[in-house]
Structure 1
Amino acid sequence: MGYTKSEIEKIGNTLIYLQEKIGERISKTKAIKLLYFLEEFSIKKYGRPFLGLEWEVWHLGPVSEDLYAEINEPYMLNEHIKHAHVDGLDGCFIEPRHAFVDDEFSDSDIQLMDILVESIGHLNASQLIDKTHLPHTLWYKIAKENNLLESFDNKSRTTTDFKINLSELLSEDKQEMYNIYLESKEISRSYAM
């Protein structure tokens, strides 16, 4: 699946916004989990995902494979972020290449990101992973239905191709908004490619 320039701009600037608002370097794992929760927040509130990324069930929770690869080695997002190391800390961190640009964001988008930062931005990567593993989550439901919990626990498996369908979070009144989102995304992608 390819991304439009607008989608790449929004993903990159979302990462920059979160890093600026949280005020510390964000690890790859924390960034991925924050973006997943941003998708959940958005679909519950507005009936549409924030970024429209595809999420899979991995051992550390929901992961967008494209985003995982991009944070390790930015290619599409190279104009927005770079891979950074932080002295004294293990892992990969993101570092913005420029200040936040709000061209792709509505006022409600900014408000939603602020809610995310205020509610869970202070949590570390492990705490965010724990939140994705709670029994009421989509990750847990899919992992349990597909007998993945034991293989994740005993570390015999780290990734899967099982997709997380965020539309399962929709209330009945938001389903129509989600369908409109899918149609408009398809139309805009056909003209943007």
Structure 2
Amino acid sequence: MKTEVQQNGIYVTPTAEFCDDKFSELKIEMMDEVLQKYGHLTANQLVAKTHKEGTLWYNAAKEHELLEPFTQHECNNSDYQTALSLALALCTAETYRESLDIKQTANILKASDNV
């Protein structure tokens, strides 16, 4: 990826062609929807949208006492992770966790086939 500073923000552009071989049609459709909805935004606009109060990022940064270091530009990343399922409705979160379990099991089975 390449970042470029323009008058109205920072833009991130790919440096290689996108290869969709490893993605299902559903994932491609989802990425297309995300690009359609947010693709026109700058990096700064995306950060403002995803880091506002009440978001997963904000809550995790607050929980780990990173809000001030981030806002003061003392650091711009951390090793802390947050679960996407926290942003989902309870029934959707359960379905999401089940699909992650299935994927993990499939990966284990695939790896054992290669041993």
TM-score of the two chains, using structure 1 as the length reference: 0.47
Q: Aligned partner of 1:121: which letter?
A: G
Corresponding residue SS for 2:35: helix
The answer to whether the aligner puts 1:105 opposite 2:24 as a matched pair is yes
Could you tell me which amino acid in structure 2 is paired with residue 131 of structure 1? Answer: K
Structure 1 runs of 4+ aligned residues shifted over 6 Å read 88-92
**Which AA in structure 1 matches 2:30?**
L
Q: Percent identity?
A: 30
Paired residue for 2:95? 177
- Cα RMSD of the aligned pairs, angstroms, is 2.8
Instruction: State the Cα deviation string for residues 53-73 of structure 1 (Å, max 9, x = none).
Output: xxxxxxxxxxxxxxxxxxxxx
Question: Which segments of 5 or more consecutive residues in structure 1 lack a partner in the other structure?
Answer: 1-25, 29-85
Is residue 27–residue 125 contact of structure 1 (8 Å, CA) maintained in 2?
Answer: no
Provide the rounded CA distance (Å) in 1 between the counterparts of 2:31 and 2:76: 29
Instruction: Tell me how far 1:192 sits from its aligned partner.
Output: 2.6
Measured at CA, do residues 122 and 176 of structure 1 come closer, stay the same or move farther in structure 2, by a change above 3 Å?
same
Matched AA of 1:105 = S
Instruction: Count matched residues.
Output: 108
The one-letter code matched in structure 2 to 1:178 is: Y
Cα offset, 1:178, TM superposition: 1.7
Relative contact order higher in (CA < 8 Å, ≥ 6 apart): 1
Q: Matched residue of 1:188: which SS?
A: helix
Q: Quick check: 2:69–2:75 contact (8 Å CA) kept in 1?
A: yes
Give the gaps of 5 or more residues in structure 2: none
In the other structure, the counterpart of 1:122 is 40
Pick the aligned partner of 1:164 from 59, 76, 82. 82
Mapping for residues 62-101 of structure 1, pairs under 5 Å? 93-97=13-17, 100-101=19-20
1:153 pairs, out of 46, 71, 74, with 71
Select the structure of larger CA radius of gyration: 2
- What's the secondary structure of 2:15's corresponding residue? strand
Decide whether the 8 Å contact of 2:11 with 2:42 is kept in 1: no
Shift in Å, 1:27: 4.1
